[in-house]
Amino acid sequence: MKGYQTHSQTGILLNANEASQNVDDNVKQEILDAISNLALNRYPDTTCHELHDLYANIMNVPSSWILSGNGSDQMLGFLIQYYLQGNKTLYTLAPDFSMYDYYVELNHAKIEKFETSLDGSFDVDAFISNGKDKKVDMILFSNPNNPTGHAISKLEMIQICEAFSNIPVIFDEAYMEFGNESAIDLLKTYPMAFVCRTLSKAYGLAGIRCGFMISSQVEKLASLFIPYALSSVTQTIASVVLRHAEAYKVNIAAIISERERMYREVKDYKTISFYPSNANFLYGRTDKKDILMNLFKEKNITIRNYADTSFRITIGTSEENEMVLDVLRRFEYANS
């Protein structure tokens, strides 16, 4: 069994797809005031009533369809544990989020991966056909994809839900705030569909570990989930931030604008291949990655380095992004 490799915490951090800026000072003060009134000697509200009501309003779903936990990966781990007992098979993409492998191995289940193109795209009809042939028991993949940033359309989501209507189909939407078409609207039509979301990315709350599972199945599954999964502190911080959800739309729009600005500049590079992204990062490949990584190291910029020729760069502040572009320009000029 392989453990999950955590991210470096040194340099200008553009390796973990975190928000580059901390919570606004006014919101931070509101958080501090709310925490000061907590009864820390009491167990937290295991129903997360206030938090779920706030998030349900944002997502336009019944609050009874929401379950929250210690990051969205805890929700994914719970679903794998519940549905894949007895040596059953998870069906996912390659590449995708490595925690899927971790939870599958932890629960002694099996995993079947469908290879995507270099840009993360894949033939949905072939994906469905292969899944049927392999008699898979659960479908789970990130959309937008981590690490490629590719996202499938709602029509393609419907194709998958229709083809696998009798097994759980889970859309890991950790980056959907930066994308376009969510599977949320499909939950009413497809009872076995799930959406998982997180506050770690668009809401800049990676430090508190708060994620959600959304599905009509939650009403059945909630009683089986670990009690007190979210501390009173986490619930309080998340609730305060979600009351300011409208303000975060400005931050999200700025990140998308920066992503598109950067992609426009680098998409025609000869020495690096970059791909369109629906997330808060850009994914690329180069045969001279060692040289590129050294250039980033010289500038004290930390990006995500994969074992093959690929890498991933989080969209940071405009100043950080300009530093990244400067490195990429130097690399392109020197190696083309």
**Residue 32 belongs to a domain:** no
In this prediction, the residues of the chain whose per-residue pLDDT falls under 50 are: none
- Looking up residue 330, the CATH number of its domain turns out to be 3.90.1150.10
The answer on 210 and 282 residing in a single domain is no
Q: Which domain-ending residue is among 193, 225, 243?
A: 243
Rg for the chain, CA atoms, rounded: 20
pLDDT of residue 336: 85
pLDDT of residue 20: 92
**Residue 234 belongs to a domain:** yes
Q: How far apart are CA 79 and CA 99, in angstroms?
A: 13
The answer on 71 and 59 residing in a single domain is yes
Counting the structural domains of the chain, the total is 2
Residue 320 CB neighbour total at 10 angstroms? 18
The residues pairing with 66 across neighbouring beta strands, listed in sequence order, are 214
**Residue 104 belongs to a domain:** yes
HSE-CB at 147 with a 13 A cutoff on CA atoms is: 23
The answer on 201 and 172 residing in a single domain is yes
Residue 112 CB neighbour total at 10 angstroms? 17
**Residue 28 belongs to a domain:** no
pLDDT of residue 11: 86
The answer on 323 and 236 residing in a single domain is no
Listed in sequence order, the residues at least 6 apart from 294 whose beta carbon sits closer than 8 Å to its beta carbon are none
- Looking up residue 118, the CATH number of its domain turns out to be 3.40.640.10
The answer on 300 and 151 residing in a single domain is no
Long-range contacts of 296-303 (CB under 8 A, 24+ apart): 296/327, 299/12, 299/323, 299/326, 299/327, 300/11, 300/12, 301/11, 301/12, 301/14, 301/327, 302/7, 302/8, 302/10, 302/11, 302/12, 302/13, 302/14, 302/15, 303/14, 303/15
The answer on 266 and 204 residing in a single domain is no
**Residue 33 belongs to a domain:** no
**Residue 229 belongs to a domain:** yes
Q: How far apart are CA 181 and CA 143, in angstroms?
A: 9
Q: Decide the pairing of beta strands 169-172 and 273-274.
A: unpaired
Q: How far apart are CA 310 and CA 273, in angstroms?
A: 9
**Residue 34 belongs to a domain:** no
The answer on 51 and 198 residing in a single domain is yes
The answer on 281 and 196 residing in a single domain is no
CB distance 68 to 230 below 8 Å:
yes
pTM here?
A: 0.95
HSE-CB at 312 with a 13 A cutoff on CA atoms is: 25
Q: Which domain holds residue 255?
A: 12-21+246-335
Q: Which domain-ending residue is among 243, 265, 299?
A: 243
Whose tokens are 């590719």? That residue is: 150
Provide the 3-class DSSP secondary structure of residue 205. Answer: coil
Which pair of tokens denotes residue 2? 């392989």
The answer on 139 and 278 residing in a single domain is no
CB distance 313 to 284 below 8 Å:
yes
The answer on 81 and 159 residing in a single domain is yes
The answer on 189 and 304 residing in a single domain is no
Q: Which domain-ending residue is among 207, 226, 243?
A: 243
> DSSP state, 106?
H
Which pair of tokens denotes residue 214? 């959304």
The answer on 220 and 281 residing in a single domain is no
Closest to 196 measured CA to CA, from 173, 224, 168: 173
**Residue 7 belongs to a domain:** no
